[in-house]
Structure 1
Amino acid sequence: MTEEILNKLIKKLEEERSLIVRAIETQEHIEKLTKVINEKQKLLELIKSLNPEELKKYKEKLEMIQKLSKVNMSLALDNLQFIEEVFSIVFNNETRKYDQSGSITQDSKNFFNKKI
């Protein structure tokens, strides 16, 4: 059962990665991404209720989950930065950037670090 839950989570993380990349394309992708995130949350709740000793047997899968989670977080952050830059140019605001901790930093008026 534990291995099955971990495998499902890995598949959800891979699906999430694909949808994060495509989320800026259409509303349909955003809705699918939201659904996958909710399903992933339910799997994480199941994992949280498992015996920690049982999870230790699946160190490799847990490392894969951690790696995929970091990749997905980075992709989501990149999308957010892209959208913020587009809005800042459209509305003539200073570009704001998000760092890995989620803090906002101000940058000069530019698009992809090139003056326009």
Structure 2
Amino acid sequence: MDSKNYACVLLSGQPQFLNQLSLQIHIPLRQRIAIHYGFKGLSKEEVNLYLLALLKAAGVSEPLFTPDAIEAIAGFAGGLPRKVNNLAEKALLVGFQKQVRAIDAEIIQLVQEDSDFTV
């Protein structure tokens, strides 16, 4: 019965999920996991490409984030896409309020430090 795969299940979770799988009770499940991948976060270049792709999907053709802003986002977000999204979205709102054409590291710093903009 175990020789055929009748279903494929994708398990996803926080790093703590791996701790749970390491428990003795989960050995049978762990033995059936064919592929294991741990996401380490996006690099600075990947953050840049990610933001460009999001902006392109939104119909924006020119880069709205300066290189130093990308570096700041990557640093503050630790490469986590959810945090990249939050920082970028809030920075765009601040940039709109300030009527700037591009988001720079100063705006990213402001967004990161502002207690109303918890990321």
TM-score by length of 1: 0.31
More helix per residue: 1
